[in-house]
Amino acid sequence: MSLKQQYINGKWVAAISGKTRDISNPFNQEVIATVPEGDESDAKAAIAAAREAFDNGEWSSTPATERGAIVRKIAELIERDKEELARLESLDTGKTVEESRGDMDDIAGVFRYYAELADKDGGELIDSPVPNGISRVVREPVGVCGQITPWNYPLLQASWKLAPALATGNTLIMKPSEITPLTTIKVFELMEEAGVPAGVANLVLGAGHKVGAELASNVDVDLISFTGGIVTGKKIMQAASVNVKKLALELGGKNPNIIFADADFDTAVDQALNGVFFHAGQICSAGTRLIVEERIHDEFVSALVERVKKFKLGSGFDEETQMGPLISAEHLEKVEKYVETGVKEGATLAVGGRCPEDPELQKGFFYLPTIFTDCTTDMAIVQEEAFGPVITVEKFRAEEEAVKLANDSIYGLAGGVWTNDIAKAERCVAKMRMGTVWINEFNLYFPHAPWGGFKQSGIGRELGKLGIEEYTETKHIFQNLKPEPINWF
């Protein structure tokens, strides 16, 4: 596989230490690529390049229309190479190629969206309360941005950070997850081809506690944008305090999906499954907490179980496959422990709860889709993120109880409500403490709408116009048209 290396100051380079890391396919553990394993010194070199590229002002003073054109070109190149990128993403993550193709369309869409927004904000004039004054508000790039991404949606998460940062004239250093760097490397090749100048966008590969920690703590980095787990997020927040960096955190979720008895039953069953088992549950917004009205609870669970038993697990490259493997042996172990905890806590295992026995799946990190019933909010399995194919089901009788259960979490990323009573749906979502709420829908997002969490699910918003604001500072410029002495002193 002809893959290039780290990208620092417009050059493809090996790690300074010379170390490398093998990247393997979670379906069969075959090594699919070997990439440099950077560390703090590589991160420092990239930060220096990004600092110089920002401070010389060439990129930030490039007309926004030209920056937008380069971002648009990146979208076009992603569309040109969509099939290659999709296959690479599936090799690296195990997800089905069909899912990866969908991801690539979304990713191109994110670059297109920010290309369009690049030159749309010319600032605003304020009616100055001071006579003979002109008061303007303009937005400027924040500066040097450190960007750290997770392994579940490697390139999608990268695009949410790269596109707005470039469109607004920042310079950046990206560190993808060390286990899934392949599509990010490829997109840096496309960014070079699109004409992003040397030093503006830099790519460093390697472990989080080395490369990521350097980005978070280095005083030459002005903003750190992180997507990943809550424990790492807290460390980054602490490290970023060293120079009071701007901070954007997209952390975990434990997302409730409320099903009322008056919902369209078959659609709610189908979408409840989709809301969790897509990408084997490795989605921050997966609707893993089903909260089902008592009247339909038993029937609803039976329908879920029947469907789950028919799921086809396998290679992401097999057209029949509906669910691929988990990302790694370590992650599989985490999911197994979580399920063991559920059993110990007294939840009832309705289906799954183990690895599949199919001989063809033994080299991959597969786990059967799993449903727990008789769950209560005091259980760890209801409170903690498994980040795997596991649903917990809770019961409710009254509307208020459903909302109370939904909000009983340290997280506040996303949630859903299924009902044909639209007034009831509106009453519920008004009280749900989450950054995104869906009515008769789950897991839908698009570049035009902001994404982010309430509570411990994060700080700030990606996507939408707010995604642009994240990468800009606001400056007020006041000009006195008739300066004269004040004669106070």
- Yes or no: say if 70 and 163 are a contact pair by the CB < 8 Å rule: no
- Yes or no: say if 325 and 93 are a contact pair by the CB < 8 Å rule: no
Whole-angstrom Cα distance, residue 376 to residue 383?
Answer: 9
* Rounded (5°) CA angle 142-143-148: 90
Q: How far is the CB of 5 from ligand NAD (least distance, A)?
A: 17
The answer to the question of residue 229 lying near ligand NAD (CB under 6 A) is yes
The answer to the question of residue 372 lying near ligand NAD (CB under 6 A) is no
Within residues 135-154, the interface with ligand NAD by CB under 6 A covers 148-153
Q: How far is the CB of 58 from ligand NAD (least distance, A)?
A: 29
Q: Which is nearer to ligand NAD, 73 or 235 (CB)?
A: 235
| Binding map of ligand NAD across residues 416-455, x = CB under 6 A, - = no contact | -------------------------------------x--
The answer to the question of residue 44 lying near ligand NAD (CB under 6 A) is no
Out of 37, 145, 214, 284, pick the active-site residue: 284
The answer to the question of residue 227 lying near ligand NAD (CB under 6 A) is yes
Q: Note if 284 is an active site residue.
A: yes
Whole-angstrom Cα distance, residue 154 to residue 134?
Answer: 46
The answer to the question of residue 281 lying near ligand NAD (CB under 6 A) is no
The answer to the question of residue 235 lying near ligand NAD (CB under 6 A) is yes
Q: DSSP for 416-471?
A: EEE-S-HHHHHHHHHH--SSEEEES--S---TTS-B--EETTEES-BSHHHHHHHT
Out of 37, 89, 250, 462, pick the active-site residue: 250
Q: How far is the CB of 385 from ligand NAD (least distance, A)?
A: 5
CA dihedral 465, 468, 469, 475 (to 10 degrees): -120
Q: Which is nearer to ligand NAD, 94 or 453 (CB)?
A: 453
* Rounded (5°) CA angle 185-187-192: 100
Among 251, 335, 361, 437, binds ligand NAD (CB under 6 A): 251
Residue of 218, 276, 271, 207 lying closest to 243 (CA atoms): 218
The answer to the question of residue 413 lying near ligand NAD (CB under 6 A) is yes
Among 37, 39, 99, 250, binds ligand NAD (CB under 6 A): 250
Write out the E strands in 228-381: 246-250, 256-259, 289-293, 348-351, 370-373
The answer to the question of residue 461 lying near ligand NAD (CB under 6 A) is no
Q: Note if 250 is an active site residue.
A: yes
What does the longest C-alpha to C-alpha distance in the chain come to? 89
Q: DSSP for 50-109?
A: HHHHHHT-TTTTS-HHHHHHHHHHHHHHHHHTHHHHHHHHHHHH---HHHHHHHHHHHHH
- Tokens read off for 160: 């949410």
Q: How far is the CB of 376 from ligand NAD (least distance, A)?
A: 23
Q: Which residues pair with 396 in a beta bridge?
A: 293
* Structural element, H or E, at residue 110: helix 97-117
The answer to the question of residue 36 lying near ligand NAD (CB under 6 A) is no
The answer to the question of residue 252 lying near ligand NAD (CB under 6 A) is yes
* Total site size for ligand NAD, rule CB under 6 A: 32
Within residues 167-206, the interface with ligand NAD by CB under 6 A covers 175, 177-178
Catalog residues that contact ligand NAD under the rule CB under 6 A.
Answer: 148-153, 157, 175, 177-178, 207-209, 212-213, 216, 227-229, 232, 235-236, 250-253, 284, 385, 387, 413, 453, 458
Residues annotated as catalytic are: 250, 284
